[in-house]
Structure 1
């Protein structure tokens, strides 16, 4: 199930309210105040680290730390805000992981580095492949997982970037556990797989603050080719599409929408198929609850950042729909899945307009909870 990160945000928000009541020299008070108070001058880098506590049936209790580094090239406020996020965790079941996401802009946008890195020992629930898979009794694939994906983009003209992209994904030390009441045919790559993809990405991006966009547009189309000549176990290729648009609907409010698609061909390992669900789009579905070679998804979200009666607290309401299929021609409304939900926001960096988000997404499979820094898209 999706990690239910409800406790940390309540802890942080509650501590923010009660901190003045604590003793002056309390270590807890000083730690919380440092995490939630933005004292940096405009243009100067900001760094915050805060604890997380979560629970899921696969991991039992999970302890972790999240950190966020914000900066602008040459400390110039005219440059876009760059961000590097890190999250590390360990569970009572002996599982662990480190996540790292980056969106780094060079001086005057000459370069743009966009990517993510993952290392984790973490169970993957497997419900099968296709638009109609059982919602109960998933298989459990326990494995080490390593991902490195990075775009190195050069500005062509203002707001347009182009450059190479690399994707390295490895699944090893795998163990496929069948459920008691259902048998799955083991999918491609379930015994372990390593795949390296090379390609290129074209990006249009006129956002100034990637973690909380008030106005702007982001569009990306990329192509990746995986081949044994590059070190891959399998041969396949894919096109990825990501369109995001943001429209002010008042002094504080924003209406945002996103269209997202993955379209693959070839012999694709199960963990690199188009995956529906997760913390970004189709919130409420487990990431990979539905998977296939092609997926098209869309979502819309309204944000109150912050409420008119509060300086720190805000909220969002969102809805989405998605479909997976072996190929684009097989998309059908009969297999369309929907999700919707609400979220609470807490202004973590007032001077940089960055919020801590707690979202709950509702689907036919039940709710999913998410805690992250910055908006979902």
Structure 2
């Protein structure tokens, strides 16, 4: 069983696990205020809380997560909910990292900034490249990794956005630890690399709340060229497609969400830049990077009750997904398609902003994964 678990310690505090002295103190009163947030939807919300986690490659992990939720100019009628999320962590093995993610709309949704920045000194499990790699004896990869990927999009008509995107990735001090394969052959980029890509993006987005979409559509297509002239160690091209559909079923609290995603690459691509399957968003239950290759095809569907009919704040979901990787689109084989399924519980964390805390259990033929976070998986 692979576990990557982040527990919101605020919930532990609220549960009364501390002494009566603490229960009467400022901390618990603050927690109760957060959990019973009744501030106006137009009010900007900043939440900072500690996290606790465990995974096989890191042992115990502690960190700080910061969420900022806001509407441009406080306008909840015209403008969409923006999110900035910063997660920092350290582990007992001396590893550390930080991830900053943003989905920010300006006034009247004229501009849309979508991206992330990541720095980590963090081990990864490397199973190899392709759809038929073995689960047994993965290689542990230690490295220092840095990435900035950002899209700057402008509304061109109605809900259509177009703009530019850039991606910079650097992986240094790479060390493959393989006890069972002493003559392990390093993949492309196995000694480290820097890649820089520039490209174009076209997005259709009519979602009102990106953390909990009850009705709407999202479509993104983007193409990036990585060239030595841009400072890239390798020359290749990457095309990304991501389509999502959200529909209420009978009542606003019951939502069907569907996603179809694809990554298509050509050229010489370092191992850390290849398309991946797994993680807390798509193909939940698989380790992120359990399967990797130049091409990725995946789809998932999720039925959400937000909340249940008998509760004002508790809800749940069930989901299923299929996906595969391949060196080319023509090489996709049905027997290499992997499945994932599962379910989760939800707690309405920000009542006025309609944002839920989620806990999902993903089940695959290779094991399970447990994920806790704020906002829906997609």
Identify the residue that residue 67 of structure 2 maps to in structure 1. 68
Any gaps of 5 or more consecutive residues in structure 1? none
- Which residue of structure 1 lines up, in the alignment, with residue 229 of structure 2? 229
| TM-score, structure 1 normalization | 0.95
Q: Which whole-Å CA distance do the structure 1 matches of 2:293 and 2:181 have between them?
A: 23
Q: Contact 1:321 / 1:337 at 8 angstroms: preserved in 2?
A: yes
Go from structure 1 to structure 2 and tell me whether the alpha carbon gap of 1:91 and 1:344 turns closer, same or farther (over 3 Å shift).
same
Q: Indicate if the aligned counterparts of 1:282 and 1:339 stay in contact, CA closer than 8 A.
A: yes
What's the TM-score once normalised by structure 2's chain length? 0.95
Which residue of the partner structure matches residue 303 of structure 1?
304
Equivalent residue number for residue 51 of structure 2 = 52
Counterpart in the other structure of 2:98: 98
Return the alpha-carbon distance in structure 2 between the equivalents of residues 159 and 200 of structure 1: 17
Kept in 2, the 8 Å contact 1:35–1:50? The answer is: no
The corresponding residue for 2:253 is 252
SS at 1:252's partner residue?
strand
Residues 327-360 of structure 1: per-residue CA shift (max 9 Å, x gap): 1011111100000011111111000000111111
Describe the SS at the equivalent of 2:363: strand
Aligned residue in 2 for 1:263 = 264
**3-state DSSP class of the match of 1:108?**
helix
CA distance in 2, matches of 1:173, 1:14: 38
Structure 2 SS opposite 1:33: helix
State how far apart, in whole Å, the 2-side matches of 1:146 and 1:186 are. Answer: 20
Q: Distance in 2 between matches of 1:285 and 1:227?
A: 32
Distance across 1 between alignment mates of 2:105 and 2:307: 27
- C-alpha deviation, 1:30, in angstroms: 2.9
**Mapping for residues 148-163 of structure 1, pairs under 5 Å:** 148-163=148-163
Distance change >3 Å, CA 183–CA 319, structure 1 → 2: farther
Q: 1:31 to 1:44 in 2, by over 3 A?
A: closer
Cα distance in 1 for residues equivalent to 2:189 and 2:283: 25
Residue correspondence of structure 1 range 158-173 to structure 2 within 5 A? 158-173=158-173
1:144 aligns to what?
144
Distance (whole Å) between structure 2 residues aligned to residue 272 and residue 42 of structure 1? 39
CA distance in 2, matches of 1:240, 1:346: 32
2:122 matches 1:88: no
Structure 2 CA distance for aligned equivalents of residues 65 and 115 of structure 1: 20
The alpha carbon displacement at 1:28 in A equals: 3.4
Contact 1:13/1:346 (<8 A) preserved? no
**Structure 1 pair 3–196 and aligned structure 2 pair: CA distance change class (3 A):** farther
RMSD: 1.8
Q: What is the rounded CA distance, in whole Å, between the counterparts of 2:236 and 2:292 in structure 1?
A: 16
Task: Measure, in 2, the Cα distance between the counterparts of 1:371 and 1:119.
Answer: 21
1:1-377 to 2 correspondence within 5 Å? 4-5=4-5, 8-9=7-8, 11-13=9-11, 15-16=13-14, 18=16, 25-78=24-77, 79-180=79-180, 184-249=184-249, 250-377=251-378
Residues 225 and 56 of structure 1, relative CA distance in 2, 3 Å threshold: same
How many Å separate the matches in 2 of 1:231 and 1:15? 49
Deviation (angstroms), 1:12: 4.1
Q: Which moved more, 1:177-186 or 1:152-161?
A: 177-186
Structure 2, unaligned runs of 5 or more: none
Q: For residues 21 and 214 of structure 1, what CA distance do their matches in structure 2 show?
A: 40
